[in-house]
Amino acid sequence: MCEVGQHFYWTVFNFQVHGQVLINSWIVILIIVLLGLSTTRELKMVPGGAQSFIEFLTEFVRDIAKTQIGEKEYLKWVPYLGTMFLFIFVSNWSGALVPWKIIELPNGELGAPTNDMINTTAGLAILTSLSYFYAGLSKKGYFSKYVQPTPILLPINVLEDFTKPLSLSFRLFGNILADELVVAVMLVSLVPLIVPIPLIFLGLFTSGIQALIFATLSGSYIGEAMEGHH
């Protein structure tokens, strides 16, 4: 068996679990949960700094959902798109800001969960696909789109619905992995003091953009599945 790099695995019920991704994902989820609890524990009519931030974030996600899905159906998709955006955003930033390498593992090293395609970004793509089909199947006449404009295109139309969310996983994985590799090369072998700093800030910016793109396109695909069936 050939694999790139070293990985840390756990064996659970005769299944191999990618320990690095699981640990990182738990850390990211814990950060999001703590952020949510700390900013909504004591809500006030006149919001302070933390409450203002979380309200701004909520309105931001609501605007994405309303724009992509439509005013009639967008509210029930706000939790999904908000969770997707926050998980990807915190995951991406964790890879750029947290010094994971100081934590020693038997094999491999920790990093952003989103730099692993099979275990994270492909999983997010599957969730988007399931949401996409659920949104379409909840409306009458959904299957008719697969035979339009001609039944001959049925296999191509079905394949398209699976490949669109998958393309999101390729884009997310490629960008995050490339950012981490560039910064790592600069820090280790070339100019470890000054030059990597702008690259780190650029990586933080692109990481945020990637989270926005994934959430926006997920909402767009869900809205497309519901289009014409409101």
The per-residue pLDDT for range 161-219, each reduced to its tens digit, is 777 777 777 777 777 766 666 666 665 555 555 555 666 677 677 778 888 888 888 88
Q: How far apart are CA 38 and CA 49, in angstroms?
A: 12
Look up residue 86 and give its amino acid: L
Non-local (6+) Cβ contacts of 194 within 8 A are: none
Of 214, 196, 213, nearest to 96 (Cα)? 196
The per-residue pLDDT for range 15-53, each reduced to its tens digit, is 777 777 788 888 889 999 998 888 887 777 777 778 888
Q: Which residues pair with 11 in a beta bridge?
A: 16
- The per-residue pLDDT for 189 is 59
- Whether residue 7 has pLDDT greater than 70: no
Look up residue 15 and give its amino acid: F
Q: What is the mean pLDDT of the chain?
A: 76
Phi and psi of 54, rounded to 5°?
A: -70, -35
Q: Which residues pair with 16 in a beta bridge?
A: 11
What percentage of the chain has pLDDT greater than the value 70? 71
What percentage of the chain has pLDDT greater than the value 90? 10
Q: How far apart are CA 62 and CA 54, in angstroms?
A: 12
Q: How far apart are CA 92 and CA 113, in angstroms?
A: 8
SS3 110: coil
Q: Is the preceding omega at residue 79 within 30 degrees of 0, hence cis?
A: no
- DSSP per residue over 141-176, as a string? TGGGGGGSS-GGGHHHHHHHHHHHHHHHHHHHHHHH
- The per-residue pLDDT for 4 is 47
Report the predicted TM-score, pTM, of the whole model to 2 decimal places.
0.79
The per-residue pLDDT for range 55-102, each reduced to its tens digit, is 888 899 999 999 988 888 888 899 999 999 999 898 888 876 665 565
- Whether residue 2 has pLDDT greater than 50: no
- The per-residue pLDDT for 230 is 44
CA 110 to chain centre: 18
- Domain range list for the chain: 9-226
- The per-residue pLDDT for 103 is 62
